[in-house]
Amino acid sequence: MTARGRYRKSAVSKRQVVEAAVRALATNGYAHTSVSDIAAEAGLSKGAVHYHFESKEDLVSHVADHCAAAVRERVRQAWQAPGTPLERLRSALREMRSARREGAPELRVIADLMVQAINEPKLRPPISAMFVANRAEVVSNLRETFDALGLETRLPMSVVPRLLLATLDGLALHDFFDPGDAALDDAIEQAIEEIAATLFVPKPVS
Amino acid sequence: MTARGRYRKSAVSKRQVVEAAVRALATNGYAHTSVSDIAAEAGLSKGAVHYHFESKEDLVSHVADHCAAAVRERVRQAWQAPGTPLERLRSALREMRSARREGAPELRVIADLMVQAINEPKLRPPISAMFVANRAEVVSNLRETFDALGLETRLPMSVVPRLLLATLDGLALHDFFDPGDAALDDAIEQAIEEIAATLFVPKPVS
Amino acid sequence: MTARGRYRKSAVSKRQVVEAAVRALATNGYAHTSVSDIAAEAGLSKGAVHYHFESKEDLVSHVADHCAAAVRERVRQAWQAPGTPLERLRSALREMRSARREGAPELRVIADLMVQAINEPKLRPPISAMFVANRAEVVSNLRETFDALGLETRLPMSVVPRLLLATLDGLALHDFFDPGDAALDDAIEQAIEEIAATLFVPKPVS
Amino acid sequence: MTARGRYRKSAVSKRQVVEAAVRALATNGYAHTSVSDIAAEAGLSKGAVHYHFESKEDLVSHVADHCAAAVRERVRQAWQAPGTPLERLRSALREMRSARREGAPELRVIADLMVQAINEPKLRPPISAMFVANRAEVVSNLRETFDALGLETRLPMSVVPRLLLATLDGLALHDFFDPGDAALDDAIEQAIEEIAATLFVPKPVS
DNA sequence: TATGAATGAGCCTTCATTCAT
DNA sequence: AATGAATGAAGGCTCATTCAT
C-alpha cells in the first residue's frame, strides 16, 4: 500500500463521513444530530470522525460546502433543458418543485445550515456562494437564449434572476408550511409564465 | 384582586420568560440556547422556567405562537397604509424590508423555528397559521381597495397573495446571504411595482 | 369557627395527607414518590403538606407509624378467630396470606420503609414496635387458649411466636418473587399445622 | 492480546463499576445513591459509568445479577458442610446468620432491590432466580444425604426447602428490627433442629 | 389553614473531545 | 487510519423546601 493508496483511503473515508453527515442532518436536523450519530451512519467510530475533522464545526462547514455544491448542480441541470426561455423556466420550476417535494436531503440540510449560519459566520460563505452561483446560472442561460431568440427584458438583468429565484425559494417555503393543492400549483405556474411573458419581449430592431 | 391577584404575578412571569426566550433565541439560535440562558435572560431561576412550562419544547412552542403573532401583527400594519394598492404594496415592501434589515428578533426566531419545525411537527401549527393569516391580510386589503378603485387582477385571487408574499420572503432570504446595494433594492422595488401594474387592471364596465 | 374547629380541620387534613402518602407510596414506592405526588393524591398543595409536616422525612415517619399500626391491627384480628390453637393458626395463616395476595397498601409501604429504615434509624422504631407487638399478640392468644385447653409447647414460649411469624413473613417474601400454585399453598399450610401439632402437646398432669 | 487486549480494560472497568455500585447501594440504599456516588466510589467519571451502562436502571439490573449470584454462592457453600443433614442444617443456619450479622453488602443490596423490584419488574428475574436456585441447592443437598443415610421426610419434597428458607429469611428480617440475645438465637437453633428431627425420619425398610 | 410562586441543589444523561494503542 | 475508553462540561428536568399572601 503506497502513500497514494493511504491518501486515497483517507479521502474516501472523509467523503463517507460527509455523506453520512448529510443523511443524518437531513433526517434529524442540526440540533438533534450528534457526532455519534454521524459516525454510526458512516460505519465508523467517533474517534475516526475526529481524525478527519478537527471539530464538529469543521465537519459541518464541509457539509455546507458539499450541500451547496449539490444544490448548485441541481439548479444548473434544471436550467439546461432545451427550448425557449419560457419552456426552460417551466422545466426549472418543475424540477425544483419536485426536488423540494421529494425532500432531497441536501435541501433539508441547506435549510438547517442557513439558520445556523445566522449566528455562525463561518457557515455563510458556501451558502452565499450557492446563491450567487445559482443566479449566475440563470443569468447565463437566459442571456444565451435571449440572444438566440432576439428577446430582451424590460427589467435590468441584475434584477431578473434575483427576483425569479427568490420567488421560487419563497414559494417552496410557503409550500412546506401550507401546501396548496395541485390546482393551485398549476395556477401559480401559469401566473409566473404569464408574468415572464410580459417581461420578456422581442428586441426592437436597432 | 383576590383570586385574580394571585394569578397575575404568574402570568407576568410567564410572559417575561417567553420574551426572554425570544431574545435569547434571536441572539444564539435554538441549537445554542439552553433553558439556563433563557432563565438568566428572564432574571429567574431555571426552576422557575420549568414551573411555568412543562419542558423546553413546551416553552418553545409558546415562543413560536408569540413570534408568529408578532409577525402577523407587523404584516397587518404594513398593509394598512393609506393609498392605492400600488402605494400600499410599496409601503408593505419597505416596512418588511426594514424589519428584516433591523433584524427584528421575532423574525430571527421564526426563521429558526421554521427549521426546527421540519423535524418537530408540534411547532408547525403556529407557523402555518402565520402564513395563512398573512395571506388573508393581503387578500382582504387588496379586495377592499380593488373594490374602491374599480380594479381587478388578471390572476386568480388565490394566487396573488401567495405569489406576492413568497416573493417577499424569498427576497429576504437572498438578501440575508447576499445583500444587494441600495440601487438593487430600488430596482427590485420598481420591478415589483411594474409587474403589479400589469396585473392590476381597471375592471371592465359591465 | 372556634379554636377547636380549626384544630379539628387541621387534624383531618393531616390525616388525609398521611393516607394519601400511604396510597402513593404503595403504588410507586418510596424512590418514585415525591411530595408533589402525595399532595396531589391528597387534593392539597405542596405547601400544605409542608405546613403539616416539617419535612418529607417527618411525613414518612408518620406514615411508618400509621402503617405499622394498621398491620398490627390486621394481625390482631387475624389471631382472634374462635377455636382451638390449630384452628386459629390456620385462620391467621389464611388471613395474612390473603392480605399479601391482595397487596394491601400498608404492607407494601411497610416493606418499602423497612428498607429505608436500614439506613435511616429514625424509621426503625415504629417497625420494631410492630414486630414486637405482633409477637405479643400471638403470645397472648396462644397462652390464653393453651390454658383453656390444657396444652403446652415443647419449645420455650419466647421462641414460638418469633419462629412462627418469621416463617409467615418469609413465606410471603418467597411468594412474591416465586409464587407457588394453590396445591403448594395447601401443602405448606398442612405442613405448618403438622409441625404445630407435634409442638403443642397436652400438659402433663402435675 | 490484540483484540482481546483492547477489550480487557473495558471489562475490568465495568466490573469495578458494578462492585462500586454494590458498596454504594449497601451503604446508602437505592433511593439515596446517585450515579455520581457510584462513579466516585469506582474512581471513574460519571461519563465513564454511562459509557459502560446505558442507564442507571441498566446498571442496577446488572448489580442485581451480581448480588443474587453472590448470595447464591454463599448459600451453596453454606449447605456443603460435611456431616448428617442435621449437622448441615446447623452449619447453614450459622453461616447465614453470621452473614446477616456482618451485614454482607450483597445482602443489603438484595433487600433494597427486592423492594425496588416491586415496582420495576425488570429487576425481578435475577431475584426470582436467586430464590429458585437457593431452594434447588437445599433440595439437592438434602436428597443426597437422605439417600446416603436412609432418611426420608414426612413432608412433600417441594415443601421442605421453601419452608426452611422462608423461615431463615423471615428470622433474618425479625432479627434486624428486633435482635434477640445470644440465648434466644440458641433456643431458635435448637427449636429448628428439633423440628427437623421430627420431620426427617428413617426410611422404612421396603 | 393553605396556596401559588420561586429557588437551588442535585439528578440522569448526552456529547464533543482527547488519547493511548 | 482508526478504535475503544474515558473525560468533563453542559443540558433538561425533578424536587424538597421556603415564603409572601
- Please name the residues in contact with B173: beta carbons below 8 A apart, sequence gap of 6 or more: A114, A166, A169, A170, A173
Put simply, the answer to whether B159 touches A128 (Cβ < 8 Å) is no
- Mean pLDDT, range A57-77, rounded to an integer: 94
Residues 34-73 of chain A: which lie with beta carbon within 7 Å of strand E?
34-36, 46-47, 50, 55-57
CA distance B44 to chain A (A): 25
**B:41-60 Cβ neighbours of strand E under 7 Å:** 44-48, 50-52
Q: Is the pLDDT confidence value at C6 over 70?
A: no
pLDDT at C141: 86
Asked if the Cβ–Cβ distance from C131 to D178 is below 8 Å, we say yes
Per-residue pLDDT band at C48 (split at 50, 70, 90): very high
Tell me the pLDDT tens digit for each residue of B64-94.
Answer: 999 999 999 988 888 887 877 778 888 888 8
Instruction: Please give the Cα distance from A198 to A195 (Å, whole number).
Output: 5
Over the stretch B173-186, which tens digit does the pLDDT of each residue have?
898 888 888 899 88
Beta strands in D10-50 (DSSP E): none
The CA distances from residue C173 to A68, C29, C97, C170, C184, in Å, are 66, 17, 11, 5, 15
Q: Specify the pLDDT at position B202.
A: 87
Q: Would the Cβ of D37 be found within 7 angstroms of any atom in strand E? A: yes
**C-beta neighbour count of D183 within 10 angstroms:** 10
Chain B residues inside the 8 Å CB shell of A113: none
State the DSSP H helix or E strand holding residue B201, giving kind and residue range, or none if neither: strand B200-202
For residue B115, the chain A residues in CB contact (below 8 A) are: 29-30, 111-112, 114-115
CATH no. for D1-53: 1.10.10.60
Strand ranges in C112-153 using DSSP code E only, listed in sequence order? 151-153
The number of CA neighbours under 13 Å toward the Cβ of B151 is: 21
Minimal C-alpha gap between A46 and chain B (Å):
21
Q: Is the dihedral of CA C181, C182, C185, C191 positive or negative?
A: negative
DSSP 8-state assignment for residue B157? T
Q: Which residue, chain included where needed, has cell 420568560?
A: B17
| Statement: the CB of C32 is under 7 Å from strand F | yes
- The answer to whether B187 contacts A155, with C-beta atoms less than 8 Å apart, is yes
What is the pLDDT at residue C97? 76
Residue B135 — very low, low, confident or very high, per pLDDT cuts 50/70/90? very high
pLDDT digits (tens, 9 = 90+) for C104-157: 899 999 999 999 998 888 899 999 999 999 999 989 888 888 888 888 888 988
**Cα distance between residue A25 and residue A107, in whole Å:** 11
The contacts of residue B124 (CB under 8 Å, 6+ apart) are A177, B117
Highest mean pLDDT among A130-139, C141-150, D32-41: D32-41
Domain residues of chain A, as ranges?
A: 1-53, 55-201
Q: Which residue has the higher pLDDT, A124 or D206?
A: A124
CB-side neighbour CA atoms (13 Å) of A162:
26
pLDDT for B4? 47
Q: CA at D3, C1' at F17: how many angstroms apart? A: 53
pLDDT of residue D1: 39
CA distances from C122 to A127, C58, C117, C167, D111 (A): 66, 9, 7, 27, 19
Higher pLDDT, C55 or B141: C55
Nucleic acid strand E within 7 Å of A6 CB: no
In angstroms and rounded to an integer, the radius of gyration of the C-alpha atoms of chain B is 20
Residue A152 pairs with which residues in a beta bridge? Answer: A201
What does the pLDDT look like over D45-64, one tens digit per residue? 999 999 999 999 999 999 99
Lowest pLDDT segment from A100-104, C173-177, D191-195: A100-104
Alpha-carbon dihedral sign for residues B118, B123, B125, B130? negative
| Confidence tier at A8 by pLDDT (50, 70, 90) | low
CATH number of this structure's domain B55-201: 1.10.357.10
Q: Cα separation of B30 and A116, whole Å?
A: 9
Does C6 contact strand E, using a CB cutoff of 7 Å? Answer: yes
Provide the 3-class DSSP secondary structure of residue A203.
coil
Residue D7 has pLDDT above 70, yes or no: no
